[in-house]
Structure 1
């Protein structure tokens, strides 16, 4: 075939311009599409103020929250008296246990004279009546005394005076807390010195004026939102501290989940694995009412810090909620789908009414239904089961009806041709085609509802979701949050594997 020359090409282009010349969209569709996408992202950036949100985000606090998921804190508090004496205390459920004396806190003790107010002497004259407006003394004689005439005394009697008695006490005057090898703080009277790496910050405490003053410049890891207000200093993975005019709160962080097996109230607390095994196998009972093995198992279940039994019970409650809600939805959606399918029930008004019912119950989110049923039934699993049942009944009903409308009518006509009744036609001509699809969708919804039951539990519908929300609200038990999230993930992964295996078998059988 001969090649066309330029003149022939030009003549052909003049006769058929719509064929040889590309349109504007064909020539510029790629840059126009890229431009439209870029404009859309710029609009989203402006409309949702993403730049401002990212610039004002407190990434330090976010990092602390993430660290709290895999660590725990010991929280000593240093109360500073006006004479400079320090008192160290720990919260009731602090993981350090009873009689805390950590080696990372060093103290200096001194004997100082502390004044105490003495009570008025009982030998005060009975005729010395209190002045008007003065406080009543329970040390006075119960017998009424007549006041001396003003003309004879000339002046009123003086009120009893109090005396200040000085006592010697040994108190803590200085404390040094080592948060890590490169981070520490020193507390001495009204002065707190913070060290992080090569940086040092000094805080001056004034209990009379209730102020905290930062000497010199403040680094970015020291935060004081109001002048004279409390100061918060962050030491990364080592922890953080909160300093007010009369108190220093220390939060020293350690990696791991402390007291996960035994809490501080257990007789097995602080023992090594070998020591625990020795006590369990010992014939000498710690508690006369039960064996040491039963006592150890009881201490694990009723661990006050982690509440294993309650968490596992709530997790089982969530699983049962998802299963019962899905099962009830399947039982309702299955017969209604035959009514909604146009090729099964040949009554258009009935079809449309049933489909609009499906649309109504599934258009309202499961979370909204959970709030409604929580108000109706009160907090608990019944509200969660009802929310799952109502929402999934509509969704499964619509999916089942669409599956029925797409079946192959030849199989149904074949069963009908032999004179089978209507019920037999549905049983042998319809169900074999749709049952694998029905079962596969029901299994998928059961696995999905295991996750959804956790969310609706947070609004009072019971299950582990409510307990998870309670732990998050404390803003301090993030290791408990991580524990429950990990359990939820394990359950979801397990159910997802089971559901996928059953669905693949059902679909595989249907293909054979």
Structure 2
């Protein structure tokens, strides 16, 4: 391909100035548009102080929250009781004074009072690999890898470290609380009256059986042996029935309640979508100009559809929660109102774009008006109507989760309750995973049905 010289280009531009003028205008317009976009982005960055927001963000907290989704913590507290130590756990923790984890070692403090457990003169707590805390009433020795930090305790008065603090230890005020970090494995807060330990483990604790189950702590082989041939753990029911009851009523993960709420969400989306489709179908015929030649009726129903869909589904959910109280009825009503407006608009527009030749052919043989609509209009639009309804059914499964969080029932409310505790993020991850699976399944079902209704070529 020959390359034009500068002289030849100048000669051509002199002979055809209008062509080159248009090209130059387009080039200038493109540069001006690009400059305008760049200027707007710079202004937005400055006006909203994006740089300061990014710099001031507490990214460490985000990392902790992310870790909480895929891990859990066991939190023993070692309290100083004179010359003794008292190891305690949260009220509903799997571990208690009479059930210590294997990484907590207690050296007995002589003869403890009757019925008192978890009391010792010394506690050795391993946190991850090569990390430990050796705790006595007046001395805490922290080992992290090859480094050792010795901390003197004056009960109820002060905490003092011997020597300079390593990078993994922090004490904001001399004599006050001292924090040591072991990375992902956990941390410890050493105070003058107690030591709070947070030991983190990867995974979901007690996902199958909680600490109250007779199957808790047993290996998969032991559980299977009990299910198949072991003696009954409860005389009134088989081991298989007992295992299912323990899983379904797991007090920590609440599988039964979560799955019931998930089914409630699916039913909300389905019923709300079906009712909206059923009501919007006949109303759309009145709103379509080519079907109902009454301008007042057309405008009345189109504005009615606009009103229903202009109010967001979340606002409708708040309104119906106030009217009916918390529960799935409020969620169904919110989906029904919003989708009636949306379907009415979509259906009426589809009706206004039909091919009138088919309708005229049915009318030419003297068919009644109802038969004209039945055989001349419905076959054209029904696949489109069903396709749109199926898409919104899948979409409403996601929306039902959101409106559930404001009291409309379903798994959304359960999810919001878990998030509000700020400590059950593994439960949040569990419910989010279930929602993702349900949306994935319903999306594929919707796609398959739409392909069968309106053809693979239209969908693809």
TM-score interval (norm. to shorter): 0.7 to 0.9
Which of residues 471, 474, 480 in structure 1 aligns to 2:421?
Answer: 474
Which of residues 303, 324, 327 in structure 2 aligns to 1:356?
Answer: 303
| Kept after mapping to 2: 8 A contact 1:110/1:170 | no
Counterpart of 2:253 in structure 1 is 306
- C-alpha distance in 1, partners of 2:118/2:237? 45
Matches within 5 A, 1:484-499: 484-499=431-446
| Kept after mapping to 1: 8 A contact 2:84/2:109 | no
1:74 aligns with 2:74: yes
1:235 aligns with 2:234: no
Counterpart of 1:87 in structure 2 is 86
- C-alpha distance in 1, partners of 2:196/2:442? 44
| Kept after mapping to 2: 8 A contact 1:176/1:186 | yes
Which of residues 133, 152, 156 in structure 2 aligns to 1:185?
Answer: 133
Shift of 1:222: 4.8
Mark the CA change 1:374 to 1:199 in structure 2 (over 3 Å): closer, same or farther: farther
Moved more, 37-46 or 286-295: 37-46
Rg comparison, structure with higher value: 1
Shift of 1:364: 1.2
| Kept after mapping to 2: 8 A contact 1:111/1:171 | no
Secondary structure in structure 1 of the residue aligned to 2:378: helix
| Kept after mapping to 2: 8 A contact 1:95/1:258 | no
- C-alpha distance in 2, partners of 1:491/1:420? 46
Aligned length: 452
1:366 aligns with 2:365: no
Taking only aligned residues, the RMSD between alpha carbons, in angstroms, comes to 3.2
Secondary structure in structure 2 of the residue aligned to 1:460: helix
- C-alpha distance in 2, partners of 1:483/1:71? 12
Moved more, 417-426 or 237-246: 237-246
Which of residues 217, 233, 247 in structure 2 aligns to 1:270?
Answer: 217
| Kept after mapping to 2: 8 A contact 1:471/1:481 | yes
| Kept after mapping to 1: 8 A contact 2:112/2:119 | no
Shift of 1:30: 4.3
Shift of 1:54: 2.0
Counterpart of 2:20 in structure 1 is 20
| Kept after mapping to 2: 8 A contact 1:111/1:170 | no
- C-alpha distance in 2, partners of 1:411/1:377? 46
1:251 aligns with 2:198: yes
| Kept after mapping to 1: 8 A contact 2:83/2:121 | yes
Counterpart of 1:151 in structure 2 is none
Matches within 5 A, 1:192-203: 192-197=140-145
Secondary structure in structure 1 of the residue aligned to 2:215: coil
| Kept after mapping to 2: 8 A contact 1:230/1:245 | yes
Mark the CA change 1:280 to 1:415 in structure 2 (over 3 Å): closer, same or farther: same
Which of residues 341, 344, 368 in structure 1 aligns to 2:291?
Answer: 344
- C-alpha distance in 2, partners of 1:44/1:333? 42
| Kept after mapping to 2: 8 A contact 1:340/1:355 | yes
Shift of 1:231: 4.9
- C-alpha distance in 1, partners of 2:247/2:193? 39
Counterpart of 1:332 in structure 2 is 279
Secondary structure in structure 2 of the residue aligned to 1:257: coil
Shift of 1:191: 4.7
Q: Deviations over 1:186-219 (max 9, x none)?
A: 333355454444565566656545x656677666
Matches within 5 A, 1:16-165: 17-22=17-22, 25-81=25-81, 83-96=82-95, 99-110=98-109
- C-alpha distance in 1, partners of 2:304/2:178? 59
Secondary structure in structure 2 of the residue aligned to 1:21: helix
Counterpart of 2:447 in structure 1 is 500
Q: Deviations over 1:265-298 (max 9, x none)?
A: 1111112222222222347422222222211111
Which of residues 328, 340, 359 in structure 2 aligns to 1:381?
Answer: 328
Shift of 1:26: 2.5
Mark the CA change 1:222 to 1:374 in structure 2 (over 3 Å): closer, same or farther: farther
Shift of 1:233: 4.3
Q: Deviations over 1:309-362 (max 9, x none)?
A: 111111100000000111111111111111111111111121111111111111
